[in-house]
Amino acid sequence: MSVPNHPAETPVPPVPELDLSSAAVTERPPGVLRSGLRLWRTRVGLIFVTILVAIALFGRYIAPYSESKGIALPNQPPGETRLPSTFGSGYKGQDVWTRFLYGGRPILISAFLATVLALFLGTLIGLVAAYNRGKLDDFLMRVMDVILALPQIIAALVVLSMFGATTTVIVLTVGISTAPRIARVVRGTAVSVVERDFVAAAESLGESKTRILISELLPNVTAPLLVEANLRLTFSIGVIAGIGFLGFTPDPSAANWGLMIFQNKGGIVPNHWGVTLPVAALALLTIGTGMMGDGFSRATGGIDRARGDA
């Protein structure tokens, strides 16, 4: 009975000297984008959004009929249409499936452009207010309060009634009324960044204000900005689909998911598909962007989505 003497047999290889201090400096934590995409909710959200964006942008190329072609009497269920149709006909006897494939693009493009405009304006105003403080800060934030005092959909209704519901007016109205919400978040985050040493260092090096805003402050507010962008896209889709539902679209004869729900609401009993398809699309799209926003906010660590968004 001999007991093997293990420790003596395998010599421990020398541990290479690790310079931990330099590693800690050079190795940055994974970005919000990447750590957010590791969560299942962000991925599921991304899948929903990708499918719906694909339908909205490219659906028209696989549509069986042209956008305005009548295929049957109004509100006929599938199987009772004059020309073959999977989902029946809508309020004007047009093919529901075709109208559905055409109807996402106007909403999606306006919502995207409005969010981009809001992000640009909101970030600019938020950063300028946080950096300058004092009277300029007070003035800018008061202007933001005035815009916030009007519920978005009401502001949109009034402006659209005056200037007509063109895509430009829709994008400008929704973008400008969304900007204050972003400006508040950006200002709130940037106020504490302004106090930090590297900003003072940049100032003492004589960097210009623009440069400090762009290369010192902006990189430090990107995480909440990413969360906010998703949230605002979600709400912009809702508002733009909502004003479409109320009858304000650039082209009343063109297909539009919001307007389509309103138009086919009366025919819901004979053929529900005219309502069900756009409703499902809008629900999945907004749930998708919402899940992505939630995933990113979890990745940034407890940014509370419930700041209240009226």
Binding interface with other proteins (CB under 8 A): 142, 145-146, 148-154, 157-162, 234, 237-239, 241-242, 245-246, 258, 261-262, 265, 268-269, 272, 275-276, 279, 282-283, 286-287, 289-291, 294, 304-310
CB atoms within 10 A of CB 4: 7
Minimum distance, C-beta of residue 189 to other proteins, in the bound complex (Å): 18
Question: Between 128 and 277, whose beta carbon lies closer to other proteins?
Answer: 277
Q: What are the DSSP calls for 72-120, one per residue?
A: SSTTPPTTSSSS--SS-B-TTSBBHHHHHHHTTHHHHHHHHHHHHHHHH
Minimum distance, C-beta of residue 275 to other proteins, in the bound complex (Å): 6
Residue 244 · residue 174 · CB < 8 Å = no
Question: Between 153 and 202, whose beta carbon lies closer to other proteins?
Answer: 153
Give the residue carrying structure tokens 């400090």: 212
Residue 81 · residue 88 · CB < 8 Å = yes
Question: Between 98 and 234, whose beta carbon lies closer to other proteins?
Answer: 234
Minimum distance, C-beta of residue 242 to other proteins, in the bound complex (Å): 5
Residue 18 · residue 278 · CB < 8 Å = no
Question: Between 25 and 146, whose beta carbon lies closer to other proteins?
Answer: 146
Taking CA atoms, 276 is separated from 95, 102, 110, 235, in Å, by 14, 15, 22, 21
Minimum distance, C-beta of residue 266 to other proteins, in the bound complex (Å): 10
Q: What are the DSSP calls for 171-216, one per residue?
A: HHHHHHHHHHHHHHHHHHHHHHHHTSHHHHHHHHTT--HHHIIIII
Question: Between 213 and 230, whose beta carbon lies closer to other proteins?
Answer: 230
Minimum distance, C-beta of residue 3 to other proteins, in the bound complex (Å): 49
Where residue 295 falls (left for φ over 0; alpha for ψ -120 to 50; beta otherwise) is alpha
Minimum distance, C-beta of residue 160 to other proteins, in the bound complex (Å): 8
DSSP SS3 for 241: helix
d(CA 22, CA 8): 35
Minimum distance, C-beta of residue 7 to other proteins, in the bound complex (Å): 45
In terms of Cα–Cα distance, which of 225, 285, 277 is closest to 90? 277
Q: What are the DSSP calls for 16-81, one per residue?
A: PPP-HHHHHHHSPPPPHHHHHHTSHHHHHHHHHHHHHHHHHHHGGGG-SS-TT-B-SSTTPPTTSS
Question: Between 109 and 218, whose beta carbon lies closer to other proteins?
Answer: 109
Question: Between 199 and 229, whose beta carbon lies closer to other proteins?
Answer: 229
Minimum distance, C-beta of residue 128 to other proteins, in the bound complex (Å): 20
Question: Between 158 and 201, whose beta carbon lies closer to other proteins?
Answer: 158
